[in-house]
Structure 1
Amino acid sequence: MRFLKLQQVMDKTSLCRSSIYNLINTGKFPKNVTVMGKRKAWLESEIEDWMIERMQAAELD
């Protein structure tokens, strides 16, 4: 299990910061978690699961 910073999530998904937060607000992207204090991060496994779901949805279209 590994935590990803916002920039790492952006690099991995090719999404910009605003797209990520817009998707979070609509419940369509994993929420970040508080690692310590104000430090937030995403679980890499949740980001990868989201990417797999997107690929599977694209195959159905």
Structure 2
Amino acid sequence: MFDTETTALLRAVLDEVCESVSHREIGARTHVASKILEAATRGEVSVDDLKQVGRDALSRAPTMWR
């Protein structure tokens, strides 16, 4: 779906946005990842835009995910 460079960018954004989220909190990380992927699929590939999408997704995640 995405080239190697874009995939690496998406992973880096996810890791940065979720740096304070435990790797065990798979639900929260999955929620953020899906929102980042949705944005990238719509053509949003700016690092700043993707980080904002990820931060927004994390802040809106149900509290049991944080």
TM range (shorter): 0.3 to 0.5
Compare the two structures and name the one with the higher strand fraction. 1
Q: TM-score, normalised by structure 1?
A: 0.36
Q: Which has the larger radius of gyration?
A: 1
Compare the two structures and name the one with the higher helix fraction. 2
Q: TM-score, normalised by structure 2?
A: 0.34
